[in-house]
Structure 1
């Protein structure tokens, strides 16, 4: 009678999901700690070796045949899942020590898929035959056996591996609520660690992954990963820098931490399309048997920056997780490297013990037969026995067996051996050979008997197997371990930094020419900055902000850049000065005390301790208090050994920097000059200066001896430095030497005037005209 049980769907889901997760994790996703195989991998290896399936071990067979055999007898799932499991076991770029020898295309390093199973063929590698399944060639007693899915045959519960295969070839698997990630390791290093642990159970086990493709592994806390079986690390491919015949820098990617070259090539092309790497001119994937991606850069590009950017933004460098979980019996456990190797040693010792027992059983059987032949031949009744066998008329053997037992002193089983032996085997000429074989087997039996009663001898045998495997199959390490800088994943490189009149910022290549873009002229230029450093931007309202250089995108020479207000949220005023943070930090450490001098248009000046600017946050701080209708017009680094020139539109005052008092960041300062005119600027007279160069807003330039501008005291009226017209005024003043060049940027041109070409006069000279048209206006001037 049918009975219907009612159950909540939510409860049924939890119950069914729990059952499913257990089965899925045990039977599909997670490797077994004993042999390191997932069920489908073990079934493939066993099916390719089992003689009952008529698969020839010595030659390749069609992959479709292998898949069909595995699916028919052991793994009743889709053929594609079986073939997909074969592929990585056959490729050296996916499997550290391949277990399958492929014939045909099993995929490639570009990420290509394997050809259909009907087009490929395979057989087991010698390593698989010797180190993974070899013991089963001698005796099935080495492993435990379970029924297959249909209960029609048996399959091994595990394979008698002789090396710690789970650490060597690693494993990846996603189950229900678990993700197994065991990286590959160098076979020789794993064997060395195992032998070290056999010799000294208290030894530490610290191993570093060794990928299937040569790459650079970034150093990390390997002891922690090895001791916990959990953690993460990063690996990067090899990128070499060279130059082609046309002088363009070329980056060549010759390896990857994972083998798919198509993905990396596409990622680089996406970076170029998004404008993040405008330095790249062309990307070409030339990979065939080996990885080779060629990245050609534009002339003058910083190859090291592009190299670091490729590492940061593509899978050329990527993180790898370590989660060493495996099935032990019916439990899922996390292993440390040491606990796994300890488990393997015990597993290998049990296998060796079972091999010794199986070998002893065979030796005893063989010796029992040999003993029968020897006793019968020595008894002197061999001819009589042969004659009785020949003249026997009835089917029964009892009379003959009794005769052999009585005359040769053998067991009934041995007597049966004699009766069933061929006539040739009873020839007296074989007696010496039987005696020699018996002696050899007796010695061999003694050795095996000693082993099964002595763990040290079992360990010696396990050690010997490991050393033999290392000698035959170990290869040198292919991944080198590197240390990286403390810049995290910020690409390193050298650039030119430009801040424009309209408060836009551009990061250009070190060799790029600085242009005026859409009428927006450069205001500040830092010729060389490192991408891993920061700049400080001082605004006219007394706030200073720190901006990491790597956050500023690289632009082409014709790109306007980005607005500073986009990257600095608190910036509301114009930028009055830009300083490279390493300058500030270096200046704070020099023996002679340095300060930051701050001057406002409203005639307020002060000095600020430079140490207050060594830790500016990105959100900014106040560096000077400013009156409501005032603006900061100059921020410069000075020392008390220098002279400072403060100038208005008509006069200039030279004073020692000692005259400027030191104030806190939130203070105003004191009067700079005794004048009612707005202040135009401030400059520094360095000790080597021989001349004073003055420019006016109408384009005149005056040069006279630095002695002509005598030192005075702060808050004095100042003196004239050029004879001015009625509508003219001072634009800038510099201390200079004859080899300097005065660069004047106007609304239409950049005029370069060598200082030595300027007629030397006095502080009352009219100067020379440098601007030819009345409509041209000076934007800025500077001494270079």
Structure 2
């Protein structure tokens, strides 16, 4: 009878099946890829790289081997993943600008701080560094457990036992599923001093460690400018960030001129991209007080920054550079690691050091026990050899006469199987009196060593004393590599008035009906601009005079307002650019108006349903691309107008689509930063057409035939009523478009 296939299927809810499988994937990513082990600070790929290089005997004093050979061994025997990711991990271990203490010594192009990539692995060669050998020291001394590789053909260590605080010394970074880690590098001498203090006083307060660990010590140097409280809080909680600045020197020249020289840049910043960024600031005129940037780097970094003039304040230029470029950057701290290779968690600096200390004591005990076992094996043989020397003639006789000399010797001299076998394999040259004396001395030395190790294994005090001595020796080996990152508290770069740095130039802004914008240098009337072309089917809609230092307000029909800088507008060549690339304005929403705005300016805004209010310029200036919602509109209505209220205006005139007009006092409207407003005029049909603020005694102006203007007060008084009325028909001669034409306001520069 054959089994039906359906009988092998077990029904299971999709949600639980997905949850179980995703959990397995997440745990695999967390424990086997992305998070470092607190004991050796390595991820599996890094550990397997170093282990493969050790088996290839790529010692610091030996010859280099092709990186392709190393990568091949790693992915073939230990790490079945992509060769590119394995080689990238190897390259990082060799970069002295990425690791504080490199674990791989590369020969060939392994990339540079400019951001250039390493050469392909067929062109580069590598070997281990002394630090890597120190990290792996003790692998043959029974200090750690081994596990089978993914295919069961080989073994690999679960963790490296060497006495080197790699987790904090070299740092780590990784993104797992639902968690990440980011650990900056530190100075070995400082870490050892803190660890020694914790060995003596494991209950020491977290803040006490700040007397030993000043902060991160990046391979690229730089200046750590955070205050001590911020640094301490980050290390106590295991989360935070550090503010790193480039090392910049002001160089004085003859005649009062000066320039800046950058000799160190923040960690993780590409020098090539940094120079491009600063050059972009100059080209886009975002930093007009900076004239030039030059890269004069050779082996050391040297970036020269030239000010626009000798009168520029160096502090102002530095503040601007810190604010606008990566000469100041942040490095986050998220001390998320695996404890005992299995449990992820965020640790404080103290907890990470204590975990490393506990592991090193465990390694010390395991090493001692392994050595005791080796001594016992050797003592067994030495005791057998000494018995043979004491009965040398009888031993020789047994060997010459007996058919089974091994069994006879074991019975007669009370020897073990190993001892008898060793005596039978002894060379004739060893049957000397001198050899007997050497064996006696060896036995005494081994017995003494074993007694010391046995005492070390049983006494925690001796273990701590030995570990402290080893740590001090470690710090001494790295004493010639002092701290590179200077810790110097500095204020956060203040918010600067960027308009003060923009060169003030007159421009004529042209916005087309289809939303294409451009700015022509100088002030000119649209009709006088030569070769003013538009895209097919498009034409000019709004144009006005402004300056590159102005903030330009854009009002949209959906009640939103946006702000763009006059210096950000594209030039007049071609058709310009769509304004929707500068602001997040939906394609179907039209622009109502655009003009220069200042924070103290008063504005009149009104919707098509006749509601409106006054607003201040500071309320409508939007610093982000998303803009601000100024008017809350009822469904089916739109923002109809947004206008400047002239200085001295004391009245509002409103005209509806029904040609009815009314005038009321300005103070009947309240200032708001956002809202629907109040009713300016009521309508039975149609809606608002236009409104204007004006000075009552001057009357209202609108275009008349022949360019004449009506400013007669008697023409205004009949329409002067309370706000919210229906109004009366507009006076004779009022434009058929039902639009007021305000008098031309002349600026101080005209």
One fold, TM greater than 0.5? yes
Q: 1:62 and 1:374 mapped to 2: Cα distance?
A: 51
- 1:282 paired with 2:292, answer yes
- Structure 1 residue 391: Cα displacement: 4.7
RMSD: 3.9
Does the CA-based 8 Å contact 2:63-2:127 persist in structure 1?
A: yes
The equivalent residue for 1:199 is 200
Does the CA-based 8 Å contact 2:35-2:181 persist in structure 1?
A: yes
Q: 2:482 aligns with which of 476, 484, 499?
A: 476
The equivalent residue for 1:462 is 467
- Structure 1 residue 244: Cα displacement: 6.1
Residue 254 of structure 1 aligns to a residue whose secondary structure is strand
Residue 46 of structure 1 aligns to a residue whose secondary structure is helix
- 1:113 paired with 2:121, answer no
- Structure 1 residue 389: Cα displacement: 2.2
Q: 1:290 and 1:552 mapped to 2: Cα distance?
A: 40
- 1:242 paired with 2:243, answer no
Q: 1:70 and 1:367 mapped to 2: Cα distance?
A: 40
Q: 1:290 and 1:497 mapped to 2: Cα distance?
A: 33
- 1:134 paired with 2:118, answer no
- 1:218 paired with 2:225, answer yes
Distance 1:45 1:246, change over 3 A: farther
The equivalent residue for 1:382 is 392
Q: 1:497 and 1:284 mapped to 2: Cα distance?
A: 22
Residue 32 of structure 1 aligns to a residue whose secondary structure is coil
Does the CA-based 8 Å contact 2:147-2:156 persist in structure 1?
A: yes
The equivalent residue for 2:87 is 83
Residue 127 of structure 2 aligns to a residue whose secondary structure is strand
- Structure 1 residue 218: Cα displacement: 1.5
Q: 2:237 and 2:146 mapped to 1: Cα distance?
A: 32
Residue 142 of structure 1 aligns to a residue whose secondary structure is coil
Q: 2:502 and 2:94 mapped to 1: Cα distance?
A: 52
Q: 2:338 aligns with which of 287, 312, 327?
A: 327
Q: 1:467 and 1:353 mapped to 2: Cα distance?
A: 19
Q: 1:305 aligns with which of 299, 303, 316?
A: 316
Does the CA-based 8 Å contact 1:247-1:299 persist in structure 2?
A: no
Q: 2:601 and 2:234 mapped to 1: Cα distance?
A: 43
- Structure 1 residue 350: Cα displacement: 0.4
Does the CA-based 8 Å contact 1:109-1:289 persist in structure 2?
A: no
Does the CA-based 8 Å contact 2:288-2:503 persist in structure 1?
A: no
Distance 1:253 1:12, change over 3 A: farther
Output one character per residue of 1:604-662: Cα deviation in whole Å (capped at 9) or x when no partner: xxxxxxxxxxxxxx99xxxxxxx97799xxxxxxxxxxxxxxxxxxxxxxxxxxxxxxx
The equivalent residue for 2:166 is 165
Distance 1:88 1:288, change over 3 A: farther
Residue 332 of structure 1 aligns to a residue whose secondary structure is strand
Q: 2:438 aligns with which of 425, 433, 438?
A: 433
The equivalent residue for 1:349 is 361
- Structure 1 residue 167: Cα displacement: 1.0
Q: 2:497 and 2:446 mapped to 1: Cα distance?
A: 70
Output one character per residue of 1:327-347: Cα deviation in whole Å (capped at 9) or x when no partner: 123221111111111111110
Q: 2:51 and 2:357 mapped to 1: Cα distance?
A: 23
- Structure 1 residue 158: Cα displacement: 0.5
Output one character per residue of 1:347-395: Cα deviation in whole Å (capped at 9) or x when no partner: 0000000000001111111122222222332x2x202312432455x36
Does the CA-based 8 Å contact 2:58-2:127 persist in structure 1?
A: no
Higher-strand-fraction structure: 1
Distance 1:73 1:630, change over 3 A: farther
TM-score when normalising by structure 2: 0.64
Output one character per residue of 1:394-441: Cα deviation in whole Å (capped at 9) or x when no partner: 366212332343xxxx44432332122222223222111111111111
- Structure 1 residue 319: Cα displacement: 1.3
Q: 1:497 and 1:364 mapped to 2: Cα distance?
A: 82
Distance 1:23 1:499, change over 3 A: closer
Distance 1:420 1:372, change over 3 A: same
Output one character per residue of 1:230-261: Cα deviation in whole Å (capped at 9) or x when no partner: 11121011122235679764222221112411
- Written as runs of structure 1 = structure 2, the 5 A alignment for 1:54-93 is 58-93=62-97
The equivalent residue for 1:27 is 32
Structure of greater Rg: 1
- Structure 1 residue 567: Cα displacement: 4.0
The equivalent residue for 2:599 is 568
- Written as runs of structure 1 = structure 2, the 5 A alignment for 1:494-573 is 565-568=596-599, 570-571=601-602
The equivalent residue for 1:99 is 103
Does the CA-based 8 Å contact 2:269-2:326 persist in structure 1?
A: no
Distance 1:495 1:428, change over 3 A: same
Distance 1:299 1:243, change over 3 A: farther
- Structure 1 gaps of 5+ residues are 505-515, 520-550, 556-562, 574-599, 603-617, 620-626, 632-778
Q: 1:445 and 1:628 mapped to 2: Cα distance?
A: 106
Q: 1:570 and 1:415 mapped to 2: Cα distance?
A: 107
Q: 2:323 and 2:370 mapped to 1: Cα distance?
A: 57
Residue 430 of structure 2 aligns to a residue whose secondary structure is helix
Q: 2:494 and 2:462 mapped to 1: Cα distance?
A: 52
The equivalent residue for 2:238 is 229
- 1:358 paired with 2:363, answer no
Q: 1:41 and 1:418 mapped to 2: Cα distance?
A: 46
Distance 1:119 1:247, change over 3 A: farther
The equivalent residue for 2:425 is 420
Residue 202 of structure 2 aligns to a residue whose secondary structure is coil
Q: 1:59 and 1:202 mapped to 2: Cα distance?
A: 47
- Structure 2 gaps of 5+ residues are 510-520, 525-564, 570-593, 605-646, 650-671, 674-693, 699-747
Distance 1:55 1:164, change over 3 A: closer
The equivalent residue for 1:267 is 277
- Structure 1 residue 571: Cα displacement: 4.4
- Structure 1 residue 492: Cα displacement: 9.3
Residue 243 of structure 2 aligns to a residue whose secondary structure is strand
Q: 2:501 and 2:306 mapped to 1: Cα distance?
A: 21
Output one character per residue of 1:77-131: Cα deviation in whole Å (capped at 9) or x when no partner: 111111111112112211011111111121111111111111111111112212x
- Structure 1 residue 202: Cα displacement: 2.1
Q: 1:390 and 1:554 mapped to 2: Cα distance?
A: 105
